[in-house]
Amino acid sequence: MIRFENVVKRFGDNTVLDDLNFEVAKGERVTLIGPSGSGKTTILRLVMTLEDLTDGYIYIDGQPFTYEPRGGRRVRQKQKDINKVSTKIGMVFQQFNLFPNMTVVENIVEAPIHVLGRGKEEAHARARELLELVGLSDKVDAHPTRLSGGQQQRVAIARALAMDPEILLLDEVTSALDPELVGEVLGVLRDVASSTDITMLIVTHEMQFAQEVSDRVMMFDHGRIIEDGEPGALFSAPREQRTRDFLQAVL
């Protein structure tokens, strides 16, 4: 579903990802862990096309995404083709990023109506279903500023799901929350993970959550995968000293 091939990302002369290769299968849940600055968020932002890759290729569902190899050259795809694939990909951010001037339901129906061309009634019906899934049926017409951080993040999850994504990217979605609000957001994500077959790429410091929902964990250091495995094994018996040090610091 997602394949990175020889991906390089530089910011100026800072090489953040250096010839990165990995694959995520359809329906697989993969968590990226590693020290701050190791490139995890950059990977999600590349998939979301919030950053442009310096070199290499990203394939989505087997097709070249932003660039394709053509006649021995690397060619940028047409923006309309990139946009078409982008609608399959949803992201939830650390800082919620809800539209503050819209109600909860308006936040959720905005993209389905304006990007996917869904009918108003259909979009609203789906939004109500999703608000039930995230436990916020009573907040349909509330404004995001009136909600707790945990509630805002649950709206953001519903908003991402309203686009029926095939891929969901979760970028430290509980890091900005007060500790007592983390559980409700992780609970919703557990439900999403167990009730759908959405492919997920997750960046989190919540190791127990990572262990519960992931099929695979990739440990990053300085933009490289230093260890990749099933979470039970990786957490209980890491092979690399750097993984052991990292886990000791966060657990």
- For ligand ADP, the binding residues (CB under 6 A) are 11, 14, 16, 34, 36-42
Q: How far is the CB of 177 from ligand ADP (least distance, A)?
A: 18
- In the complex, the smallest distance separating the C-beta of residue 34 from ligand ADP, rounded to whole angstroms, is 6
Packed helices 104-114 and 120-133: angle between N→C axes, nearest 10 degrees: 130
Choose between 15 and 196: whose C-beta lies nearer to ligand ADP: 15
Residues near 168 by Cβ (< 8 Å), separated by ≥ 6?
Answer: 89, 90, 91, 92, 160, 161, 192, 198, 199, 200, 201
- Cβ distance to ligand ADP smaller for residue 54 or 77: 54
Tokens at residue 110, please?
């905005």
Contact 177, 157 (CB under 8 A): no
Minimum Å distance from CB 42 to ligand ADP?
Answer: 3
Query: Tokens at residue 188, please?
Result: 């919703």
Give yes or no for a contact between 226 and 243, defined as CB atoms under 8 angstroms apart.
yes
Q: Compare residues 150 and 223 and give the one whose CB is closer to ligand ADP.
A: 223
Whole-number minimum distance, CB 223 to ligand ADP, in Å? 7
* Collapsed DSSP state (helix, strand, coil) of residue 183: helix
What whole-number distance in Å separates Cα of residue 56 and Cα of residue 59? 10
CA 156 – CA 35 distance, rounded (Å) = 26
Nearer to ligand ADP, 40 or 139 (CB): 40
Closest approach, Cβ 48 to ligand ADP, in A, equals 12
Give whichever of 14 and 248 is closer to ligand ADP, judged by the CB atom.
14
